[in-house]
Amino acid sequence: MAAEKPEIVRKAEILIAETMCGRDASHDAAHAFRVRDVALSLAKEEALSPSSLEIVELAALLHDIGDYKYTKDLVEDTTIIEKFLKEEGLDESKREKILSIIKNMGFKNEVACASFSNSSLEFCIVQDADRLDAIGAIGVARCFVYGGSKNHVMYDPEIPPREDLTKEKYTMKDAKTTIINHFHEKLFKLKDLMKTKAGKRRAERRHKFMEDFLAEFHMEWDGRA
């Protein structure tokens, strides 16, 4: 029989379902639950201490509630998360660790060379789990779902991938790019940005799947398959 979930985790799951409903399937509640499950699995492989598991689980679950892509002003917003953790009586040190993970784990921060310094194992696990969900079969599906939700062109050989991306360029709302370009601008880079040994191992398989997918895509696009 599975162990009963802590009350704060159960409430976090309810909060996620309520606040992330209506989003496209690339960043919905199911994404948060997958990231949580992968994070806990990585934590087990990395022999994370039991005292840190709560931080990992809550950070993984809550990480996308205030995602800038879905906020009114296109800026990260952790207000709901901060309020939830405080109301649930989580001690201040854990609240600070969870919020620090969430605020610093995004790819846009790494693009800006502003990724979280002196990264804790908890941070590395949650970030790796989120990035694993961005690659592989699910990553491919999420990429097309999100691009479609923004009416992005699927592929145009006349629009090359953007190079030398800055944080501002990466988060630009009306950037001229394509769904396929996102593989080159971000997804293919994630394997080498994994921070845990467990994350690196899993990323190899998912990365290979994307390479094979894109090779097949171009063969079909060009009428060679």
Tell me: the pLDDT tens digits for 10-21? Answer: 999 999 999 999
Alpha carbon distance 68, 39 (integer Å)? 22
Report which of residues 170 and 110 the model is more confident about.
110
Tell me: the pLDDT tens digits for 149-175? Answer: 999 999 999 999 988 777 666 666 667
Pick from 29-33, 124-128, 162-166, 189-193: least confident: 162-166
Domains (range + CATH), the chain: 7-221 (1.10.3210.50)
Q: 103: burial class by Cβ within 10 Å (0-12, 13-18, 19+)?
A: middle
Number of Cβ within 10 Å of residue 135's Cβ equals: 27
Q: Distances from the Cα of 192 to the Cαs of 119, 197, 199, in angstroms?
A: 16, 11, 10
Side chain identity at residue 225, one-letter code: A
